[in-house]
Amino acid sequence: MNIDLSVLDLVPVPSGTAPSQAVRDSIYLAQTAERLGYRRYWISEHHSMPAIASSSPEVLLSRIGALTEHIHLGSGGIMLPNHAPMRVAEHFHTLAALYPGRIDLGLGRAPGSDARANRALHAGHGEHFSEMLEEMLALSQGTYPPAHPYHGVTISPSDVSLPPIWILGSSGASAHLAGSSGMGYSFASHFSPVPAGPALRRYRDAFVASGAFAQPHTILGVSVICAPTDEEAEYLAHTVDLMWLRLRQGQFLPLPSPEEALAYDYSDLERSAIKENRSRHVVGSPESVRDQLADIIRESQPDELMLVSNIHDAKARLRSYELVASQIENSPANTS
C-alpha cells in the first residue's frame, strides 16, 4: 500500500503528566514523524480543555520548525472565528518567511472550546467563516479597492504569501467551498459521525485549479492505535473509550490511562455508545491496522492519511506511529 502519511497532534495531556511536558512531548513526536517519513505534522487548536494543550499552534509550530528540517508543518486547524483574520494572516506570513515551502494553513469554523471560553476569546460565529476567509485573503493579497476602509493595510512580512490553505471539515458542509476556492480539503473521520466518501467526492467535483493546488488534494484524518499485538492495542484503546465518553458528557479531563478506563463503572447505555464510537477508530497490530487502513482507502479514496493517536503513554504513542510507518510506503508523488 502506497500513500502519504501525516500526523495530527492534539497535544493530549495524559493523567499524571504536566501540560507543559505534553507540549514538549509534541516536539519529539514531530521530530520522530520526520525521521519516519511522515509528510506533514499538524497541530489542532483547542481552548480551556485540560485534556488538550494545543491552545497556541502558531507558537509551537515556530519552535518545531527550528528543530526539524523538511517535514511540512501546519495547523489542523486554526479556528478562524476565534481570531481577527489579519492576525492569522500575519502569523502565517511570518511562519512562511521562517520556513519557506514547509508551512500549511489549515482552517476550521468550529470553536474548539466551550461557550465560556468562546466568550473569553471574544470569538465570532462559524456562519461568518466564508466572509472571514475572504477578508484574510484580501488583506494578504492587498486586493481591497481604494474605497474600502482596509485599503492600504499591509500584511508583514509582505514579500511572502500565505502558505497553501486547507479547509477542515467533519460534515461535508465545507467541501464545496474548499474545492471551488482551489484549496485543499481535510476531513476529520476520527470524530465525524458521517462517512468521508461523499464529502471528498463533493470537494473533487467542485474543484477549480489554483496557484497553490493544480489538482485536488484530500487528507483523511483517522484515529489509529497500533501496538505489536491486537491484545495490547485493544488495551491501549480503552483510553479513547473513556476520553470520548467524557467529552460527550462535557468533561474535559486529562487523557485517562487504560487502567483508569478499565476501572470505570460503565452503564449499559455508556457501553453501547462506546461500542458505536469504536467504529471510528483503527485499533490493532501492524498487520491488522494495515488491512483496516487499506479498506478505508478503497472506500474513501483520499490522497493522504493523517493519523491521530491519543495514547496515554508517550512512548507507546511514538511506537504506534513507528509501527504504522513500517507497514505503509509513503508516496513521493504527492507534492502539495
Write phi, then psi, for 207 (nearest 5 degrees). Answer: -65, 135
Task: Decide: pTM greater than 0.85.
Answer: yes
Radius of gyration of the chain (CA): 19
Q: Which of 220, 230, 229, 223 is nearest to 244 (CA)?
A: 223
Q: Which residues pair with 184 in a beta bridge?
A: 166
- Cα 222 from Cα 168, distance rounded (Å): 13
- Cα 71 from Cα 5, distance rounded (Å): 11
48: helix, strand or coil: coil
Instruction: Look at the domain 4-226+302-327 and name its fold.
Output: TIM Barrel (3.20.20)
pLDDT of residue 332: 40
CA distances from residue 87 to 125, 235, 274 in whole angstroms, order as listed: 17, 43, 39
Per-residue pLDDT tens over the stretch 65-113: 999 999 999 999 999 999 999 999 999 999 999 999 999 999 999 876 7
HSE toward the beta carbon, residue 67, CA cutoff 13 A: 16
- Cα 152 from Cα 160, distance rounded (Å): 17
pLDDT of residue 114: 80
Per-residue pLDDT tens over the stretch 120-129: 988 777 788 9
Per-residue pLDDT tens over the stretch 253-293: 999 999 999 999 999 999 999 999 998 999 999 999 999 99
138: helix, strand or coil: helix
The DSSP secondary structure of 77-93, one letter per residue, reads -EEGGGS-HHHHHHHHH
Q: What is the mean pLDDT of the chain?
A: 94
Q: What is the mean pLDDT of residues 217-241?
A: 98
Residue 236, amino acid: L
330: helix, strand or coil: coil
Domain ranges of the chain: 4-226+302-327
